[in-house]
């Protein structure tokens, strides 16, 4: 198992929080997610230079997809990140360092509990 550590900011993953950033300055859609612009976040994530299987990129994309109501696609990204042999430690907006697999599993649990559906409902009001 390969573990890399990124010293970037990872957003709090709780409901509306934005997602992940790598320590090299490329934010993988972080700014867009933090601003609540999920469509722009998806565009930024899709055009980023990160490998398509990068756990941080997958988790960011899953968050943006879930926040736009694309739950099946989000689930697929979270599952891919959770199964990845590459594990990274990511910093949350609260300063907590977490394993990417844990974060992906947390995202799956949030999908199962309907937490993202609540977020979508709030945004459409």
Q: Residue 3 has what pLDDT?
A: 45
Q: Residue 64 has what pLDDT?
A: 92
C-alpha–C-alpha distance, residues 11 and 19, integer Å: 5
Range 6-21 average pLDDT: 41
Q: Are 56 and 6 in contact (CB under 8 A)?
A: yes
At 41-98, the pLDDT tens digits run 999 999 988 888 988 889 989 999 999 999 999 999 999 999 999 888 876 666 678 8
Q: How confident is the model at residue 121 (pLDDT cuts 50, 70, 90)?
A: low
pTM of the model as a whole = 0.78
Rounded-to-10 torsion of CA 113, 29, 51, 8: -90
C-alpha–C-alpha distance, residues 66 and 106, integer Å: 13
CB-based burial, 9-36: b 16+ in 10 Å, e otherwise: bbbebeebbbbbbbeeebbbbbebbbee
Helix axes 100-113, 71-83, angle to 10 degrees: 150
Mean model confidence pLDDT for the chain: 77
């Amino acid at each position: 198992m390969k573990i890399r550590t990124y010293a970037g900011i990872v957003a709090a993953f709780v409901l509306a929080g934005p997602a992940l950033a790598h320590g090299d300055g490329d934010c993988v859609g972080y700014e867009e997610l933090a601003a609540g612009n999920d469509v722009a976040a998806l565009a930024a994530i899709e055009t980023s230079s990160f490998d398509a299987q990068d756990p941080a990129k997958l988790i960011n994309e899953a968050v943006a997809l879930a926040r736009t109501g694309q739950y099946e696609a989000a689930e697929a990204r979270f599952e891919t990140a959770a199964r990845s042999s590459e594990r990274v430690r990511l910093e949350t907006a609260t300063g907590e360092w977490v394993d990417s697999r844990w974060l992906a599993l947390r995202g799956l649990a949030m999908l199962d509990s309907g937490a993202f559906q609540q977020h979508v409902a709030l945004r459409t009001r």
